[in-house]
A and B are shown apart, each in its own frame.
Chain A
Amino acid sequence: MIEYFAMGGHGFYIWTAYFISAVVIGLIGVLRYKRLSVARKKDRANTTTQEKP
């Protein structure tokens, strides 16, 4: 297992690159989804308010 993570002496470079990529892609995904959810929620609330007599 340790041998696998060492990646023939390149482990530091490989895992750093993958970690940074995961953070960047994860952040893009989460931020986009969260902003959409908030907008949809406000939109629904707004529509409901307008539909009220």
Chain B
Amino acid sequence: MLTESKLMNTTDINEILSTEPMIILDNVAVKYRVPTERIGTFKEFAIRTLQRRVSYKNFWALDDINLEISKGEVFGLVGNNGAGKSTMLKVISRVLRPTKGRVRAYGKIAPLLELGAGFHPELTGRENIYLNGALLGYSKEEMDQVFDEIVEFSELGNFIEAPIRSYSSGMYARLGFSVATAHIPEILILDEILSVGDEAFQHKCNERMMSFQEQGATVIMVSHGLSKVEEMCTRVAWLDHGVIQKIGDPHEVIAAYRDAS
């Protein structure tokens, strides 16, 4: 202990002092109950319950995860399909309650919604901005503040007064990203959606993410684009069958993941 603290210079100590945890997962586990046969109707359920034939298979999507993510980290999750990446994001963003364990988040979480989720096709771009902002938990005043900036960033111009059923899918995506990132979120969650719009817009998105990080936001991202994760993240975890296989330096973790698959 003593030697260790002697070895530490002042910058190290400062660094430790400034690591403020944003997200803490203690022994988190998530169990899905998958019915072995699909029971879709009330009649079937009633009959089977009477016959005591409702059987479930337990499936642990996450198993005993311990993790701490600090302020300012860009944290990446990699792994095969079904490894538990999306479940992890859901547990963090309060969508799923863990079956076991404890999740704590010390900041406001802004998930980037799937393309078009929460939008209404008949409403105009302007109306949808406020609706989407409200879904993300912002107030009217908070949305008023950033409205002009959203319009500018999404490059929608005059289309902002048109019903968004007339938008192209690129315009949809640009609007969604612009609303979700209009306020600097304390914790931004990105699930495989960085491929928004054309290349120029993607560049803008990346820039925005970088500036968030500089301003102290915490980013958690899931992607199959390994090189992108390697390039953007400060720390990466490799998940497999609901268990963290390896965690740490992006290059090392991704190299190990590549070797395994």
Partners in one complex: no
Interfacial residues, chain A to chain B (CB-CB below 8 A): none
